[in-house]
Each structure stands twice: as structure tokens, then as C-alpha cells.
Amino acid sequence: MTHEVNITRMDAFTYRDLISSGDAVVLIPVGSVEQHGAHMPLGTDMMLSTKMSELTAQQIGAIVGPTISFGYKSQQRSGGGNHIVGTFGFDADTVIGICRTLVREFSRHGVNKIVFVNGHYENYQFVYEGVDLAMRDLAGLGEGPRVMLLSYWDFVTPQVIERLYPEGFPGWDVEHGGVMETSLMLEYFPELVQMDRLIDHPAAELPLYDLFPVDPSLTPASGCLSSGKASTAEKGRILAESIVTGMATAISGRL
């Protein structure tokens, strides 16, 4: 049996004890509520960023903070687009403000080591801005926390990519709803994946620019940018092992 690492399932006294030394590492998952085709739930990004955070925390003796459930607007070239019903896109200042507040709040609690684990492609720069602003806020109050930002898919090694994508890797930007996310969901949340509803099609060929207003015809009808047909739970296990090992090594080595 694994021990509880997510503070949202802990009482306040247990949480206080865990961070009392000042040396605790807190991982903050960052997701979104976004369509992932007909075969996966809207909460895929928040669920996977939380699961990867919890698995990593168990490995390195860290804890996991509350998941940031809503993310920045889905973009057509990396998430199908914010025009698709089922996607909830928040403005940049909202995402920035949430991240800024969480850094300040954890610092107020006495946490000195924070990791944001991104699970939604479009979030990264706004998480970065929130952290940067928080560090400025705290600069005059003494020594602030150390903060790391990462996107979990960046820890899938080239060897794993070559093994799982024998016909060629389409790139993380068009992997929305594809093999990685579907395989991880099959491994950890199989009851929420409906493979019989998956729409199979080639990876989307999108232009090298963005248009306003959005041209919906450029997004595949599935809402996904590549096919998840080749997904399996076994691939999910292989992906998770690479991700968790890489994240654990990075966090332990730098924080």
C-alpha cells in the first residue's frame, strides 16, 4: 500500500507536520478542462498531471499540493482550439494569478521547495510568469523558495519515443488526444477511456500560423490532433516509468 501524498486528502495537522522541517518538496499539478475527443474525459490534463505528480512524490518523499484544474486557452495547433465545446479556456491573467498566489501561500506556510508539474501544453509560459511575479513579491521578505517548472512529457526519453512510435513521432504539440495521453489514461483511469469511440485519423497537418477568427475546418472533427488507436495500458506503464524516473532525478538533483 502506498502512503498518502496529496495534501487535499490530508488533515491540516498532518500537513503541518510534513512541512515543519522546511525541507519538504511540494509538487503542484497544473492541468485544464479540455476536450480530448470522443474517447477521453474533459479532465484528462488535470488527472494525468496529478497522477504523475503523486507517483513522483511517492518516489522521492515529496507531497502534492492542490491541482490547478483550469488552464490557458486551448490553441488550434496544440489542443484543437478554444472554439470546441467542452473546452474551458481561461485568460492568461487568471492562470498567472493562481500560480502567483500558490507560490506566496506555500512560502507563507514555510515551504521552501516547489515544483509546478504542467499537464496542458498551453499553460507553460503563464505558469512561468506567475512564478516570476511571486518571486519578485517575496524578494524583499528574505530568502524565498526555490521553484522548478516542468512539463511531464518532456521526460519521455528518446529511446521510449522510438519504441512507442515506430512509424514516426508526430511531436508533442499534435499529441493532443493521441498515444501518450490515451495510453496513460488506459493505465491509470481505464474506466474513463472508451476505445470503441476513438476516431482514427492521421496526425493533423496544421499551418505554421494562427488565424483570427479561428477556421474550425482546420481542426480534425475528432478534436484530437493525432490518433490514439495504437494506445495500450502497457505503453502507459512504459511512459509513466520514463516520466517519473526523469522527474524524480531532476527534482532530487536541483531542489
Structural domain includes residue 156: yes
Active-site choice (39, 120, 175, 187): 120
Tell me phi and psi for residue 250, to 5 degrees: -65, -45
Range of the domain at 67: 7-254
Structural domain includes residue 1: no
Q: Is 23 a catalytic residue?
A: no
- What pLDDT, on the 0 to 100 scale, is given for residue 160? 98
Q: Is 83 a catalytic residue?
A: no
Structural domain includes residue 124: yes
Compute CA distances 135 → 21, 34, 119, 160, 194, whole Å. Answer: 21, 29, 22, 36, 43
Q: Is 34 a catalytic residue?
A: yes
How many structural domains compose the chain?
Answer: 1
Q: Is 54 a catalytic residue?
A: no
Peptide bond into 170 cis (omega under 30): no
CATH number at residue 174: 3.40.50.10310
Active-site choice (39, 54, 175, 181): 181
User: For strand 113-118 and strand 146-151, is the pairing parallel, antiparallel, or unpaired?
Assistant: parallel
For residues 44 and 198, what is the distance between their CA atoms, to the nearest angstrom? 15
Contacts by residues 20-25 (CB-CB < 8 Å, ≥ 24 positions apart): 20/110, 22/110, 22/111, 22/112, 23/112, 23/113, 24/62, 24/63, 24/111, 24/112, 24/113, 25/57, 25/60, 25/61, 25/62, 25/63, 25/113, 25/114, 25/115, 25/251, 25/255
Structural domain includes residue 16: yes
Structural domain includes residue 193: yes
Structural domain includes residue 130: yes
- What pLDDT, on the 0 to 100 scale, is given for residue 140? 80
Active-site choice (39, 54, 122, 187): 122
Q: What is the mean pLDDT of each run of 10 residues along the chain (255 residues)?
A: 90 97 96 98 98 98 98 96 97 98 97 98 98 94 90 98 93 95 98 98 93 95 96 98 98 96
DSSP label at 122? G
Structural domain includes residue 2: no
Q: Is 36 a catalytic residue?
A: yes
C-alpha neighbours within 13 Å on the C-beta side of residue 248: 17
Distance in Å from the first CA to the final CA of the chain: 27
Per-residue pLDDT of 122-160, as tens digits, reads 999 999 999 999 999 999 887 789 999 999 999 999 999
- What pLDDT, on the 0 to 100 scale, is given for residue 141? 80
For residues 32 and 34, what is the distance between their CA atoms, to the nearest angstrom? 6
For residues 45 and 135, what is the distance between their CA atoms, to the nearest angstrom? 26
Question: Among residues 32, 99, 41, which one has the least CA distance to residue 70?
Answer: 32
- What pLDDT, on the 0 to 100 scale, is given for residue 57? 98
3-state DSSP helix/strand/coil % of the chain, to nearest 5: 50, 10, 40
For the whole model, what pTM was predicted? 0.97
Active-site choice (34, 54, 175, 187): 34
Active-site choice (54, 175, 176, 187): 176
Active-site choice (36, 39, 54, 175): 36
